[in-house]
Amino acid sequence: MKHSTKNGLTRREFLWVTSASAAGLLLGCAINPVTGRSQLMLVSEDQEIELDRQNSPHQFSTDYGLLQDRVLNNYINTTGKKISTLTHRPQMPYSFQGVNAAYVNAYAFPGGSIAATRGILVELKNEAELAALLGHEIGHVNARHTAEQMSKGVLTNALIGGIATVAGTQSSGLGSLASQLGMIGADALLAHYSRDNEREADSLGLEYMVKAGYNPNGFVGLMDMLRSTSKHKPNAIELMFSTHPMSDERYRTAVQSVQTQYRQAQNLPLYQERYMDNTVKLRSMKGAIEDMQKGESAMGGEKYDEAETYFKKALKQAPEDYAGLVMMAKCLTVREKYSEAAGFVGKAKQVYPQEAQAHYLAGFVNIKEKKYDSAYEDFNAYEKILPGNPNIKFYQGLSLEGMKRVPESANKYYEYIKIVNQGEKAKYAYQRLVEWGYAK
């Protein structure tokens, strides 16, 4: 959906920005009280919260859902809340959770929904490092970096139109796995920050974690871990660095701040034991998580044979792991081994029925197997859990078409092209409508 207007904004953004100003919410250039820096700001706090609410659930699902390990999830949330109440924007509706993804990453949506992957949680050594990680993300929320990137027009497709624009863009190419399966790309909804944003988030994160009573060496430990991971597992950490630009400078700055400004705070605790206690289950999965990382990296390189071997290894260690099961099912789907894929995705639905992604994949596999009734049920189940993904309309239409329920199918295709008007799927849907006499 790239209707360029003369000022370079897409039409959707243009409408969005102008409607924001019409509502009297256009704030323009103002000094940010948190950073003391002049910031172009076209997004109100209510809009930040709304964008978060619309987008974050889709990202969590792309990352294989929230951790089912309640102990660990509560622990992450408690740790985050301890910090967020002491920040410049304590009123934001913060939430802190772990997500099942295996790659190394953490991110924040503009309303304060913050998540860390299993891949990064398993690398942390103490609670102070977790506090540093969450503090950094809280720093992005406080300095309003997502809203700033949006105001500058840097953040284009994602966030602004909900996921509709993203889905539209993704469906136009059939090359990548994400678009082949009709899913949202792993980083499509995430904000990409500037290096200055990173410096600010680091400085705020450090300030907040120390205020909350943590040893600032946790921040140095985090930076050190990220640096070394980038050398040992460059593929697993790629996304983290594309969303949070990393440099040796960030590590050096952290070391220097701890030795000067936060010198006195170095006798504060790191809480290593508490972190270890709360991550017992997670750490027992480390081998499986690393095999999933290798499998995903092989998938990225289109080495599907190799990927399948890694996913098999991961599932041998953790046979009930939702993410592992879905990854294996995706790999088999790409290899067109649909009936095998159906087995894994069926099990994934069983172990984590509340998570949406497996229902989507199951529907996709069922369409390939021409089991249209089951496919239709799967897509309905997905939409009930996670509304707002326009691709579902298309696949519901396709399922109904397979079931020879033409008027209902036409309805879904029509709903789809109302939201997404370019790409292979839109073309297909439109052609059907023409064929059936609903459009000309």
DSSP letters spanning 79-102: HHHHHHTTSS-TTS--EEEEE---
54-62, 232-240, 241-249, 393-401 -> range binding Zn ion (CB under 5 A): 241-249
* Cβ at position 39, least distance to Zn ion in Å: 17
Alpha helices in 63-160 (DSSP H): 70-84, 118-121, 127-142, 145-151, 157-160
- Smaller CB separation from Zn ion, 105 or 333: 105
Stretch that binds Zn ion, among 184-192, 197-205, 355-363, 430-438 (CB under 5 A): 197-205
Q: Tabulate helix, strand, coil % of the chain (nearest 5).
A: 65, 5, 30
Which stretch in 3-11, 78-86, 96-104, 238-246 sits in contact with Zn ion by CB under 5 A?
238-246
Residue 66 DSSP SS3: strand
Tell me which residues in 128-187 interact with Zn ion (CB under 5 A): none
349 binds Zn ion (CB under 5 A): no
Minimum CB separation of residue 80 from Zn ion in Å reads: 15
Q: 51 or 138: whose CB is closer to Zn ion?
A: 138
Residues between 53 and 82 that touch Zn ion (CB under 5 A): none
- State both tokens at 219: 């921040």
In angstroms, give the least distance from the CB of 191 to Zn ion: 9
Interface residue with Zn ion, options 12, 118, 244, 371 (CB under 5 A): 244
Query: Which residue has the closest beta carbon to Zn ion?
Result: 244
The residues near 44 (Cβ < 8 Å, ≥ 6 apart) are 20, 25, 27
Minimum distance of Zn ion from residue 59's CB (angstroms): 15
Cα 51 to its chain centre, rounded Å, is 14
Q: Which range binds Zn ion by CB under 5 A, 53-61, 67-75, 201-209, 277-285?
A: 201-209
Q: Which structure tokens are listed for 220? A: 């140095």
d(CA 245, CA 430): 41
User: Binding to Zn ion by residue 201, rule CB under 5 A?
Assistant: yes
Q: How far is the CB of 101 from Zn ion (least distance, A)?
A: 17
End-to-end CA distance of the chain: 22
Phi, psi of 149 (to 5 degrees): -60, -40
Which positions touch Zn ion (CB under 5 A)? 201, 244
